[in-house]
Structure 1
Amino acid sequence: MIYNILFNDVIPIFVVMALGYAGAKCHSFTPDQTQGLNKVVLNFALPAALFASITRASRDMIFDDLKLTVISALGVTVLFLVAFFICWKVWRHTISEAAVCALIAGSPTIGFLGFAVLDPIYGATTATGLVIAIVAIVVNAVTIPIGFYLLNLGLPKSETGSGSLGAIINAVKQPVVWSPVFAVVLVLCGLKLPEAFYPSFELIAKANSGVAVFAAGLALATVPFGISAEIIWNTVFRLFLSPLAICIAGALWGMETESLSMLVMACCMPPAFSGIIISSRYNIYVKDGASSLALSTLAFAAAAPFWVWATPKIAGLL
């Protein structure tokens, strides 16, 4: 299992990130070109990927396992807000910086690594697909809109309009916000899109993860990589404290052990790449965000087998 996680999940991320880093150091990309890549991901590839993945879910899927849905929705959202407030109040960042930090430290990259990690461990079953779908909906349709609202709330009023209302309007206009929300509305209304619809979206969606990690390498080349107390905290919060909170909540509510183990694994993944793209696009929290991604991805090789072992132990105690 450690071999699979290392060579199938961790190393590819570092290889693509290293290519981006090398491209920046060789001056193959100008700052404008880097921003262009970020716009491609943020305005086109990521919204398409979110819309396609969410609309493949069904209304029955959301309500079949209410414990899973409720714990995922409340747990991921609350942990996202905890990451925001700690970055804002403890580490003394601005509201916009704390919002980007929460999109990184408070959100797992479930869309990119979900099936790659869960299927080899638990099998490619309906249960693993359900866990991945539910967590992906929460991350993409709840925390990203909240993060964008908080990011815009912290920007100068000249950029967003008037206070909270301007921040809401500016956030809603972003494709990465309205696309997953619209997709969830379709799912809740029971509307299914024909399969012939998806290839057109998936062609651009496939560029999402690779370009996002490549752009993270470009961003990392513009700032000195460093390890600080905050970077370590972000890593520990993402890989250990967040899944621990989910594990305790699920165990106390009596979730079935294997389902709980899959949910914990889904919530202990490295930071969502969407947060890195947003960081680079707005030039906010770039150094700490890229460093948190690098350290968390490396530490994930140890965190994944730990939670496979620890979740049944914790559930048994509770």
Structure 2
Amino acid sequence: MLDILAITGPIYLCIAMGYLCTRTGVFSKPDLRILGKFVLNLALPALLFNAIAQRPLRDVMHMDYLLAYGLGSGVMLLCSYLWARYMNRSTGSYRAFFAMGTACSNSGYMGYPVAQLVLGSIAPVALALNMLFENLIKLPVLLTLADNADAGAHRTWGTVLRDIARGWVRTPMLVVIPLALLVSVMGWALPGPLARTITLFSQATTGLALFVIGGALVGLQLKGKRRLVGQITLGKLVLHPLCVFLAFTFVVPIADPQLRTAALLFAAMPMLGVYPILALKYGHEEVSAATLLAATVGSFFTLNVLLWVLKHYPL
């Protein structure tokens, strides 16, 4: 167990440092937003670019991974949405956020650092595949469901597609993917100074992303509807990875064992860090913030258990 804690220990120590530095005033919430923007707009895009551009295309585009992860996540989304509707009798827009909390992982800030420590060089490839699926399918569908559930907020699918296109060009992590694919296909080599600059930015990703997560937890409280918080946390940390595991075990096999592990690890992460921010528009921010805190704390235990299982029963 100590060797597993040697992997997860630095992850949660970085999160704890972010929390303590923000709690004691060394960094403020606005400071964290700036650091978060740096990670999202520079460090992670640089990391994705290197991960794709430096590999042959056949080593990057894994349709088996996309299909298996997508199927498992889709089943989790559907079951969560139906549970929120028929069992919890939740309001229209909250059904979508209940489902979002159970099936949308924090791939960039937490999933990648964990996968990188466990799997090494395959982690950026899995991150790129996850970002494609989450930003092009999961989040647009869920936000559209939330909008259309509220009275007077109906969006056509044509509007949704336009919003996806606008979001693509405004999201550096998505913009670099086709550019990196072009470099990979053409076999181009970047000039030395440019390649080293991109590498320097990419190396700042892991620790800084975890630090930002810790700072974001300051001020969040476990209050409100505890039953809902518990249901979403259980769904995200246990049922989502279970659905992905069943998908690639029985329906769409993933050929590469490292990618099978990556799919399971990314699914086992807490929900995306902007979960409470997205919920603010619909009035669900308190429950969403409490759930984010519970899932982040709870992931320390579930992730260590998962790594222990993977060590003794490799995929």
TM-score bucket (shorter structure): 0.7 to 0.9
Residue of structure 2 in register with 1:126 after alignment: none
Amino acid at match of 2:200: L
* TM-superposed deviation, 1:103: 2.9
Q: 1:70 to 1:191 in 2, by over 3 A?
A: same
% same residue: 16
Alignment of 1:1-318 (within 5 A): 2-7=1-6, 9-62=7-60, 69-91=62-84, 92=90, 93=94, 95=96, 98-99=99-100, 102-104=103-105, 111-118=112-119, 132=123, 135-150=126-141, 153=144, 163-183=159-179, 185-186=181-182, 189-194=185-190, 196=192, 197-225=194-222, 228-249=230-251, 259-260=256-257, 262-269=258-265, 276-279=272-275, 282=278, 285-310=288-313
- Separation in 2 of the partners of 1:112 and 1:3? 19
SS in 2 for 1:228: helix
Aligned-CA RMSD value: 3.9
Conservation of the 8 A alpha-carbon contact between 1:73 and 1:138: yes
Conservation of the 8 A alpha-carbon contact between 2:44 and 2:108: no
Conservation of the 8 A alpha-carbon contact between 2:47 and 2:199: yes
Conservation of the 8 A alpha-carbon contact between 2:57 and 2:185: yes
Q: 1:10 to 1:238 in 2, by over 3 A?
A: farther
* TM-superposed deviation, 1:233: 1.9
Conservation of the 8 A alpha-carbon contact between 2:72 and 2:245: no
* TM-superposed deviation, 1:218: 1.6
* Partner deviation per Cα, 1:139-184 (whole Å, 9 max, x = no partner): 1333333345346646879xxx984144213321332453353146
- Separation in 2 of the partners of 1:286 and 1:299? 20
- Separation in 2 of the partners of 1:107 and 1:90? 28
TM-score (norm 1): 0.72
Conservation of the 8 A alpha-carbon contact between 1:265 and 1:304: no
Conservation of the 8 A alpha-carbon contact between 1:242 and 1:268: yes
- Separation in 2 of the partners of 1:90 and 1:268? 23
- Separation in 1 of the partners of 2:109 and 2:264? 7
Amino acid at match of 1:72: Y
- Separation in 1 of the partners of 2:36 and 2:268? 15
Conservation of the 8 A alpha-carbon contact between 1:71 and 1:250: yes
* Partner deviation per Cα, 1:27-56 (whole Å, 9 max, x = no partner): 333332232222222222222222221222
Conservation of the 8 A alpha-carbon contact between 2:46 and 2:202: yes
- Separation in 1 of the partners of 2:247 and 2:239? 10
- Structure 2: stretches of 5+ with no match in the other structure: 85-89, 149-154
- Separation in 1 of the partners of 2:128 and 2:251? 19
TM-score (norm 2): 0.73
Amino acid at match of 1:247: T
Residue of structure 2 in register with 1:66 after alignment: none
- Separation in 2 of the partners of 1:175 and 1:106? 15
- Separation in 2 of the partners of 1:221 and 1:202? 31
Amino acid at match of 1:49: L
Residue of structure 2 in register with 1:125 after alignment: none
Q: 1:134 to 1:19 in 2, by over 3 A?
A: closer
Conservation of the 8 A alpha-carbon contact between 2:107 and 2:130: no
- Structure 1: stretches of 5+ with no match in the other structure: 64-68, 120-128, 313-318
Conservation of the 8 A alpha-carbon contact between 1:231 and 1:292: yes
Conservation of the 8 A alpha-carbon contact between 1:239 and 1:300: no
SS in 2 for 1:305: helix
- Separation in 2 of the partners of 1:238 and 1:214? 25
Q: Give the number of aligned pairs.
A: 289
Conservation of the 8 A alpha-carbon contact between 2:47 and 2:203: yes
